[in-house]
């Protein structure tokens, strides 16, 4: 067992863990936050997406023990003071889900995406100058989040609403 201290959604946790435990299992099983989902457990579906130190990652492929001192945000940590995150509201308004299994991952991914665009991080469809929030750009940047129900069109629309681009 190894000691680990990390901050999840603003709360500091001090735990002893088996080094084999993934960050996803730590958050779901040890800390009891059931928002992040285990879709594939192999880095393929994005259902387990969390934001770690400001960057979204697949928490199923990350050993918890490597996250000493890190700051983790899960879907439970997106809302502030009881107010839904604008993306959460947009997902409701635009009907961007059916069964909802992929939604926690989609939301964390989309929240990080908005920051990445603000930072000017390029994607493979981005041209030389600035990032425009076109459908193509959003689809490329969200390609790591699969939705078995196929709610993709509405997911893209919800994200576009929040990014303020109406194209």
Partner 1 sequence: MKPFDYQRLETPEHLGHVEAGRFLGGGTNLIDLMKHQIETPDVLVDVTRAGMDRIEERGDAVLIGSQVSNTDLASHPLIRRDYPVLSSALLSGATQQLRNKATTGGNLLQRTRCQYFYDTARACNKREPGSGCDALDGLNRFHAILGASENCIAVHPSDMAVAMAALGAVVVTRKRDGTEGRIPVTELHRLPGDRPDLDHVLDEGELIVAVELPASPPRLQSYRKVRDRSSYAFAVVSAAIALDLEDGHMRNLRIALGGVAHKPWRATKAEAMLEGKMPEAALFMEALEQEMADAEGHGHNDFKKILAPRVVVAMLRELTGLGGN
Ligand X SMILES: Cc1cc2nc3c(=O)[nH]c(=O)nc-3n(C[C@H](O)[C@H](O)[C@H](O)COP(=O)(O)OP(=O)(O)OC[C@H]3O[C@@H](n4cnc5c(N)ncnc54)[C@H](O)[C@@H]3O)c2cc1C
Instruction: List interacting residues with partner 1 (CB under 8 A).
Output: 2, 19-20, 22, 41-43, 46, 49, 55-58, 61-63, 65-66, 109, 112-113, 116, 120-124, 139-141, 143-144
Smallest gap from Cβ 100 to ligand FES, in A, equals 5
Q: How far apart are the first and last CA of the chain?
A: 52
Q: What are phi and psi of 138, to 5 degrees?
A: -65, -45
Residues 6+ apart with CB under 8 A from 1: 16, 17, 18
Determine which residue in the list 11, 44, 79, 153 makes contact with ligand X, applying CB under 6 A: 44
Q: Which 3 state secondary structure label does DSSP give 164?
A: coil
Q: How far is the CB of 79 from partner 1 (least distance, A)?
A: 22
Which of ligand X, ligand FES, partner 1, none binds 86 (CB below 5-8 Å, type-dependent)?
Answer: none
Q: Per CB under 6 A, which region of 70-78, 80-88, 98-106, 156-164 contacts ligand FES?
A: 98-106
Among 11, 44, 143, 153, binds ligand FES (CB under 6 A): 44
**145 to each of 30, 40, 94, 97, how far by Cα in Å?**
25, 11, 18, 13
Q: Report if residue 58 touches ligand FES, rule: CB under 6 A.
A: yes
Question: Packing angle between helix 152-163 and helix 103-119, nearest 10 degrees?
Answer: 40
């Amino acid at each position: 067992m190894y000691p680990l201290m990390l901050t999840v959604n603003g709360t500091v946790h001090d735990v002893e863990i088996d080094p084999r435990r993934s960050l996803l299992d730590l958050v779901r099983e040890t800390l009891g936050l059931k928002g992040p989902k285990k879709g594939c457990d192999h880095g393929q579906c994005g259902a387990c997406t969390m934001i770690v130190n400001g960057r979204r990652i697949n928490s199923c492929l990350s050993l918890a023990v490597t996250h000493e001192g890190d700051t983790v945000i899960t879907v439970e940590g997106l809302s502030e003071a009881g107010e839904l995150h604008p993306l959460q509201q947009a997902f409701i308004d635009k009907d961007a889900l059916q069964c909802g299994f992929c939604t926690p991952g989609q939301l964390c991914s989309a929240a990080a995406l908005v920051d990445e665009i603000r930072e000017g991080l390029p994607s493979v469809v981005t041209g030389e100058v600035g990032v425009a929030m076109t459908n193509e750009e959003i689809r490329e940047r969200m390609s790591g989040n699969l939705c078995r129900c196929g709610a993709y069109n509405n997911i893209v629309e919800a994200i576009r609403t929040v990014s303020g681009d109406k194209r």
